Structure 1
Amino acid sequence: MSDTRAASQTVRYRERLSVPLWWWLPGLGLAALIALEFNQGVRVLPDWVAYAVLLPVAAVALVALGRTELRVVSGGGDTELWVGDAHLPVSVIARSAAVPRTAKSAALGRQLDPAAYVVHKAWVGPMVLVVLDDPEDPTPYWLVSSRRPEKVLAALRA
């Protein structure tokens, strides 16, 4: 993307689908427990080596799990929905809806079309459903996790 195009774009909505903060305590605790077990089994290395390796690995894993970003960007007369590196112009959206946490298992279960584009994060309850009307795209709809689906839908409609 060129700098001139990036400068003319406006972000209407942005959300990072990061893991909950409380996941960090068990994640780092598990890494520390594994390091302790490693130290008890391998006496050749200094005690701090296992901690110095495994705690950063756990932190990187938690950050990587939550690196997906959901954005609604407008600029130059076009509005697009971005989920990670995938993007979708609003002009091909036929309709959209919020999928509450209670309907999530049905949407991801037997009703799920195998050709659908799905970005599911188990730690995020609700989802956004965006039905496409693009004869050149075999994808029938996008189903994306979002903590605030109403704000995503409002940004898409604005």
Structure 2
Amino acid sequence: MGALRSPRGSPARVVPTYRERLRVPVRWWIQWGLMVASFWLAMIAAIPGPLPWYITGGLLVVLIWLLRWYGSARIVVTDEWFQAGRARIERRYLGEVEVLEAARMRAVSGPEADARAFLALRPYVTAGVRITLDDPRDPTPYWLVSSRRPRALAAALTAPVGPPTTEDAAIR
């Protein structure tokens, strides 16, 4: 079976039933920005000329890139796929979904952790979900995924799979 096509003949885009981006919190931007500012202050006092400005500008660019990269982890659920970060799995291989509040998430990601599990965790997100896998060929017992809205994520993962949906007009 080929790709789903829109009435105009182009490949249709599947609309996610759930989408979340695990951006870094504002306090990280403030803390690291203050770190760069204090570095600039120390350099401006020690090195004459424009060199401290160039170095600080370079550090600021690296900081922005790192925080945007680290905060770019996405969680996407469609009718057929579940994606957490760069990893993707077909929903038909997903088993039980457990919502984990902060204390339970700490236990599952710490003392009760299985080394074979797939982890998509962020330290600034305290809740998440644990999804067991129903694939006998995959040695991974479960996925542990951070989420700011774990109940909504669990609902999207356990919702019955419907017919494919598109952003374009209905296929006739």
Report the TM range for the smaller structure's normalisation: 0.7 to 0.9
TM-score normalised by L of structure 2: 0.81
Q: Which has the higher contact order (CA 8 A, sep 6+)?
A: 2
Please name the residue that 2:169 is paired with.
Answer: none
The answer for the alignment partner of 1:71 in structure 2 is 76
For 1:73-152, what aligned pairs fall within 5 Å after superposition?
A: 73-74=78-79, 79-152=80-153
- 1:60 paired with 2:61, answer no
For the residues of structure 2 that align with 1:110 and 1:52, how far apart are their CA atoms? 42
Asked if 2 retains the 8 angstrom alpha-carbon contact of 1:68 and 1:83, the reply is: yes
Q: Which secondary structure state, in structure 2, belongs to the residue aligned with residue 111 of structure 1?
A: coil
**Is structure 2 residue 42 aligned with structure 1 residue 37?**
yes
Q: Gaps (5+ residues) in structure 1?
A: none
Separation (CA, whole Å) in 1 of partners of 2:33 and 2:44: 16
Find the structure with the greater CA-based Rg: 2
What is the aligned residue count? 153
1:10 has 2:15 as partner: yes
The structure richer in helix per residue is 1
- Choose which of 20, 25, 28 in structure 2 pairs with 1:20: 25
Post-superposition offset of 1:6: 6.2
Mapped to 1, the partners of 2:52 and 2:140 lie a distance apart of 52
Amino acid at match of 1:32: A
The CA RMSD over aligned residues, in Å, is 2.0
Higher strand share: 1
Question: Match of 1:48?
Answer: 53
**TM-score, scaled relative to structure 1:** 0.87
Distance 1:6 1:136 in 2: 31
